[in-house]
Amino acid sequence: IGWLLGIYLGLGLKGVWLAMVMDNLIRAAMMIARYRKGQWKTIRLRSEAQAV
């Protein structure tokens, strides 16, 4: 996205910064969605014997 906005569309450094902001917003939205599903509450750790 940085290349697209910065070079291809000619926005320069502002385009690269905009791409970084967009990336962070997309990642935040994905993490919020994952958090709201609640599946992270049921994750179980393996014992040392099973891990080897």
pLDDT for res 48: 66
Instruction: For the chain, state the CA radius of gyration.
Output: 19
Q: pLDDT by residue for the chain (52 residues), tens digit each?
A: 899 999 999 999 999 999 999 999 999 999 999 999 998 888 888 776 665 5
